[in-house]
Amino acid sequence: MLGREHFVIVDGYKPICPAGREMEGPYTRPTGEEQWRGRGCSRCDLKFQCTKGATRSIVLNPPLERARARFRHPDVRARYRRRIGTVEPVFAHVEDTMGYRRASSRHPDTVRAEILLKFLAHNVARLLSSSRVHLAWLVFRPTL
């Protein structure tokens, strides 16, 4: 079967099928994704390699497509690798250890305040943890 990689995306959003035909669409889904449907699939020589149904369709998510395009650049991948080691563990700690998965309010100001308080608590916990280690080292350090 011909995969999505065999379709050419023109101008960042309009797909061309492997047979060189423009696809119909976009038909916007409630999720914001765009569905494109093949034209003339029933008469196409590649039909049996492309789809088992009457027509082939592909779904594009424009923000995801832009992110994929950005990630093809090596500098972006390097920055993301650095971020994943510094920023993401903080979010993981706040979510897993502190159990914060959703805000208790819907008002943007109170949601922002709640998130800031969670990160403040995370930072205070880190400070206390590091000061305990430092204090333990001072108490139990080897004497010369």
State the pLDDT at residue 12: 65
Do residues 62 and 117 both lie within one domain? Answer: no
Do residues 97 and 59 both lie within one domain? Answer: no
Which residues have a Cβ under 8 Å from the Cβ of 74 and sit 6 or more positions away? none
State the pLDDT at residue 112: 95
Q: What is the extent of the structural domain holding 120?
A: 89-140
Q: Is residue 79 part of a domain?
A: no
C-beta atoms surrounding 129 within 10 Å: 10
State the pLDDT at residue 24: 93
State the pLDDT at residue 21: 92
DSSP 8-class letter at 23? P
State the pLDDT at residue 41: 92
- Given 37, 70, 103, which residue is the final one in a domain? 70
Q: Is residue 75 part of a domain?
A: no
pLDDT tens by residue, the chain, 144 residues: 888 889 998 876 789 999 999 999 999 999 889 999 999 999 999 999 999 999 999 998 888 888 888 888 989 988 888 888 888 888 888 888 888 888 898 999 999 999 999 999 988 888 888 777 777 666 676 766
Q: Is residue 42 part of a domain?
A: yes
Do residues 17 and 54 both lie within one domain? Answer: yes
Do residues 101 and 44 both lie within one domain? Answer: no
State the pLDDT at residue 144: 60
Q: Is residue 81 part of a domain?
A: no
Do residues 59 and 102 both lie within one domain? Answer: no
**Residue of 13, 14, 31, 32 lying closest to 23 (CA atoms):** 14
Do residues 100 and 53 both lie within one domain? Answer: no
CA atoms of 26 and 10, how far apart (whole Å): 13
The CA-atom distances, in angstroms, between 7 and each of 4, 36, 118 are: 6, 11, 45
Number of domains making up the chain? 2
Residue at token pair 């350090």: 141
Do residues 9 and 65 both lie within one domain? Answer: yes
Do residues 56 and 98 both lie within one domain? Answer: no
Query: Model's pTM, two decimal places?
Result: 0.52
- Given 70, 105, 127, which residue is the final one in a domain? 70
